[in-house]
Structure 1
Amino acid sequence: MVHGFLRTACATPHVTVADCSANAESIIQNAKEAAAEGAEVIAFPELCITGYTCSDLFLQQPLQAAAARALEEIAERTAETGSLIIVGLPVSDGRALYNAAAALHKGRILAIVPKSFMPNYAEFYERRHFKPFDAGKNPARTLYLSEKNPEVPFGTDILITSTRDRNVKVAIELCEDLWVPLSPSTKAALSGATVIVNLSASNEIIGKASYRRTLVSAQSAKTVTAYLYANAGNGESTTDVVFSGHSLIAENGTLLAESELFSGKTIFADTDIERIVHERTRTTTFSDCADHSEIFREIPADFTNGGYDSASLILQRKIERTPFVPSGEKERAERCRAVIELQAQGLAKRLRHTNAKTAVIGLSGGLDSTLALLVTARAFDLCGAERRRIISVTMPCFGTTNRTYKNACALASKTGTELREVRIADSVTQHFKDIGHDINVHDVTYENCQARERTQVLMDIANETGGLVIGTGDLSEQALGWATYNGDHMSMYGVNGSIPKTLVRYLVGWFADDAKARGDTDTAEILLDILDTPVSPELLPPNGTEIAQKTEEVVGPYELHDFFLYNVLRFGFSPRKIFFLARAAFSDRDGKEIKKWLVSFYRRFFAQQFKRSCMPDGAKVGSVNLSPRGDWRMPSDASGAVWIKEAEGIEC
């Protein structure tokens, strides 16, 4: 394992019904091929050693004996792989026949897990051949398989635990066990299982693939596990039904890999066990349920060594560059619409509650203030209030460019708001004189005086008109502390407070697309030009007509910082793991560049908590937020030494 990733695979071998030797050859070949790709856990379908569709042949002693011999052969001939291999077969304890799964590792048969729930409806008639296993009536015991394996652990109370990483605990269930209200995997997860392997023979009918996909994803979410669903396919009898080999791998509600129907291909996914453990720890209700867990037998095995390291591992999963923004166009549009509605509804409630007569916004012609204005306009529409009661204030000063100024004025006009222009250069110059600051020294005082003057203007206009100052700062700026304390850091309600910069861009783009769809090409063109403008606070004099102060040249690319922010807050990952993930997501960026901005992120994040500790109200819209009243509570004087030291020590 590397950085908590466990490489998993689901294989669908070609089976010959009732020919255990032929099936063993197919299973061995598939297992070796998957192991060669670094798979540490390899799942095969239900009853794959015999074929699921043997029907009454299951009751024939020669078939049962052949299955046991084939199992031992598979174990011996896959011993050198080092992978945990799980296959299905019928086993007898001398009193009943069980539909079971066998866990194999380095030539050993570690355990046999029987199926708990036997479908006996519609096209299924498993109770004709197999006995369902009732854990309540069967104490922990072993099963005699042969002279080579006289005491194999047998039951549903079994976890295969990695000796290299005890967070990796594998439990097994079979097909119908997933489809019942209280699955064995639920009990196993509460008892510590982080990986569930389901050996299945789910036949294909119209619409079933979609339902199966939903079921697997939902169970992985409810149990907070990696869930492997290996399904039967090629070679099964088609006397009455057809099997497609539809296999899936999901992790905590997210589908990581899925086979095409009838493809017969092995699927792989690197499941993040560290992420699963963090999610369980963070979600305290999971541990509340685990208080009622059962005692499982743990069988140790050294199977989490895929033969790769941090440098050579190419992840078998997609790492999104923009975790706050869906990659699919349709899903992205739906997300934008939902986020905007949440922002607007939150502000509308505050406007109604305070009986605000106006909303006051500092409009700069940049992305954040543009989004704030558009959301405020939507909130006023929800309240049935006239948009002219929104006061858009442009406050040109030393760094304002003609481009941003014109866009601010044009947008205020197109949205139907009142535009006020308050030029603050004279006020700021006077303030410099009052405090004895040289206007030619363009330092932090030079910049922050302008930001605080703007905030004073907005607050005073709000007082004068009986309104609220709408904050424009976003989540990314809060994380980095890229705001002037008691300047743009402060407002009466922050509509963008939980919106990261990467998402702000898409939200403004959504408004542009919406305007274009309504035939409002003028507004669309304004918004597109704002999107094309470099991000800047415009606090330093321009270079001619061009913006001189470009934020991302100072603090770093927001695309990287938002990636860091998401993984730090959402999963608590270490700097080394975040760097590893960033290298996978940003293959076009140099590792030294990523490290530089990662170290910078941690320095800024720890140094700037004092600003977040007194940030204004604002509705949470996503899974990551920095509100001190909700998601993130951190001492303002906490040391970041542990994180910074690790980040600085990363080798590129």
Structure 2
Amino acid sequence: MPTPDTLRLALAQLNPTVGDVAGNLALARSARAEAAAAGADVIVFTELFLAGYPPEDLVLRPSFQDACRRATEDLAADTADGGPAVIVGTPWAEGGEVYNAVAVLDGGRVEAVRFKVDLPNYGVFDEKRVFAAGPLPGPVMVRGVRLGVPVCEDIWSPDVVECLSETGAEILVVPNGSPYRRTVYDERANVAAARIAESGLPLVYVNQVGGQDELVFDGASYVLNADHALAVALPAFETAVVLTEWLRTADGWRCADGPKAVRDDGERADYRACMLGLRDYVNKNGFPGVVLGLSGGIDSAICAALAVDALGPERVQCVMLPYRFTSCDSLDDAAACADALGVRYDSVPIGAVVEAFEAALAPLFAGMARGVAEENLQSRARGTLLMAISNKLGPMVVTTGNKSEMSVGYATLYGDMNGGFNPIKDLYKTEVYRLSALRNAWKPADAMGPGGVVIPERILTKAPTAELRENQTDQDSLPPYDVLDAVLERLVERERSVAEIVAEGFDEATVRRVERLLTLAEYKRRQAAPGVKVTKRNFGRDRRYPITNRFRDPA
């Protein structure tokens, strides 16, 4: 067969679901048909596409491995039609081991399989737990072109790409399951640039889209030529099947300029990640919609906006749960927010419930001053009522605590922490304010909510309060949020010591108090609902501290 001078390579940036092997296969078939209609020679899918990523311990189940193998073989059989060859990620059991693999399908059969070499085992990744590492790979011949197919982490160090380059690869095609975090775009770009500089080869980066529990995959796939020029850029947080056109030149393969989507980044990307994470958690787990307590405060307001943007107003129910400490401003602000968002809005007073709790406990609490226990009864009454609405009517409860609160335990177990998912769990309070102001001025293109101001201005300007006692504000119990969040970011994201933070000019007593609260609240965080990861280190997958822990930074 003569060596081709052109190659039409389709990139499939899709949203698979973990465990839905039949559904993922159907997605692959639909995308392949679309690519075939566009004249593609090859279509590339993302890492572990047929299984969904990350499959975690599900991939150890033999029946799941078998289902993925059958799906791979069924997709291979489709390629007997003369349409595009397929490069697809799938688990592959062989020789008593399970591999994170890429299968090359053409001519009605599995032509080649390559295994991921560098298994990440840090942060959110735990691949060494479930996969065996493959040997250094050589390229695969696909439609007359030698393609190097390093898998995701394989390009984050030089060894795999060096081996592929030395063994004759002409183009690097990289299937990825790379989750979003707000620093990730620069990190990916730097890694890709390094591998291109070392190998002299163009690079195709194909990443999946969608939410999977705490993780959100942003897509943002692209093609870089060997001179580092950007040829094609796919949108972030959206699915797409895009055809790229390649020409063999005297200097090697070059991708012709194609679509270059403008990518949202910074706070806009954070908002879209939170929105997509909530949308997919609700939809992929089969909930008809969501319900949340709308207090008149900033956290519940932005969660309501995210829910409406993710699901549409008809699938969101907001409930005000007032007590005698609930201010008239809060009542008015919650109603105005619900009206702006166009959601169902109900009011369920909790006075009788709280008083019944207090009456039941009166013999045990006799002679004791009122305090936090009585305050938390209000929160727990609200949590119980929201869960009852969920049980009766079916919507999932959205919980609304931000990362500042989760960090220092300023939240009530079995109260405001009740719920199935938290879209702002990884956003500090100061970031919640910034994203709320952003949403009032901008609406994502794929948002299902209304444009314009959806969070009343007074919610953004009044002092935050839990309203569990008269004239309460958050700052009665916590440092100012700008100080608190700055200290927490250093303790959580950067693992700075108390001494290092104090050396930056922070008050030592404040830093030590925050560090103590952070440590003491670990047991609460273990019982918190999952939520979208947007920072470098979220609670749960990234930061895994022991609950029983007596270590404190020395004086």
User: What TM-score, normalized to structure 1?
Assistant: 0.43
- Cα-to-partner distance string for 1:526-577 (whole Å, 9 max, x where unaligned): 5321011111111002xxxxxx111123111121221122222222221111
Which of the numbers 297, 306, 311 marks the counterpart of 1:380?
311
- Partners in 2 of 1:343 and 1:623 — Cα distance? 15
Which segment is superposed worse, 527-536 or 440-449? 440-449
Counterpart position of 1:559: 482
Deviation at 1:496, TM superposition (A): 1.0
Check if 1:470 corresponds to 2:398.
Answer: yes
Give the Å deviation of 1:490: 2.4
Q: 3-state SS of the aligned residue for 1:393? A: strand
Question: Quick check: 1:343 aligned with 2:274?
Answer: yes
**How far apart, in 1, do the equivalents of 2:194 and 2:284 lie?**
37
2:460 is the alignment partner of 1:510: no
Deviation for aligned residue 1:219: 8.5
- Distance in 2 (CA, whole Å) between partners of 1:345 and 1:432 is 41
Shift of 1:506: 0.2
1:187-202 equivalent positions in 2, closer than 5 A: none
Residue matched to 2:354: 428
Which of residues 573, 578, 581 is equivalent to 2:496? 573
- Superposition map of 1:156-305 within 5 A: 218=190
Whole-angstrom CA distance in 1 between matches of 2:301 and 2:325:
18
The one-letter code of the counterpart of 1:392 is: C
Q: Structure 2 residue aligned with 1:532, among 451, 457, 461?
A: 461
| Partner Cα separation in structure 1 for residue 367 and residue 395 of structure 2 | 33
Partner of 1:605: 518
For 2:333, the equivalent position in structure 1 comes to 407
8 Å CA contact 2:279–2:311 kept in 1: the answer is yes
Q: Take 1:379 and 1:537, find their aligned partners in 2: how far apart are those partners? A: 26
CA distance in 2, matches of 1:222, 1:634: 34
User: Could you tell me how far apart the structure 2 residues matched to 1:435 and 1:219 are?
Assistant: 60
**What is the identity, as a one-letter code, of the residue corresponding to 1:626?**
F
Distance 1:616 1:525 in 2: 26
Q: How many residues align?
A: 301
Deviation at 1:514, TM superposition (A): 2.7
Flag as ranges the 4+ runs of structure 1 deviating above 4 A.
217-223, 437-441, 520-523
Secondary structure of 1:471's aligned partner:
coil
Unaligned runs of 5+ in 1: 1-185, 188-213, 224-330, 382-386, 542-547, 584-590, 647-652
Match of 1:494, SS?
coil
Give the corresponding residue for 2:285. Answer: 354
Q: Distance in 1 between matches of 2:190 and 2:403?
A: 30
In the alignment, does 2:374 pair up with 1:461? Answer: no
Tell me if structure 2 keeps the 8 A contact 1:508–1:527. no
Post-superposition shift, 1:638?
A: 0.4
Q: Check conservation: 1:569, 1:624, Cα contact below 8 A.
A: yes
In 2, are the aligned partners of 1:439 and 1:446 still within 8 Å (CA)?
A: no
Partner of 1:390: 316
The answer to whether structure 1 residue 637 and structure 2 residue 553 are counterparts is no
Give the secondary-structure state (helix, strand or coil) at the position aligned to 1:524: coil
Alignment-mate amino acid for residue 469 of structure 1: V
From 411, 414, 417, the counterpart of 1:483 = 411
> Which of 480, 494, 497 is matched with 2:425 structurally?
497
Alignment of structure 1 residues 360-375 onto 2, 5 Å: 360-375=291-306
Letter paired with 2:500: K
Q: Secondary structure of the equivalent of 2:456?
A: helix
Counterpart of 1:620?
533
Distance change (3 Å), C-alpha of 1:522 and 1:439? farther
Q: CA RMSD in A?
A: 3.3
- Per the alignment, do residues 433 and 388 of structure 1 end up closer, same or farther by CA in structure 2, a change over 3 Å counting? same
- In structure 2, distance between residues paired with 1:418 and 1:525: 15
Shift of 1:222: 7.0
Q: Report the Cα distance in structure 2 between the residues aligned to 1:621 and 1:428, rounded to whole angstroms.
A: 36
Displacement of 1:442 in angstroms is: 3.5
Distance of 1:343 and 1:366 partners within structure 2: 19
Deviations, residues 50-93 of structure 1 (Å, cap 9, x unaligned)? xxxxxxxxxxxxxxxxxxxxxxxxxxxxxxxxxxxxxxxxxxxx
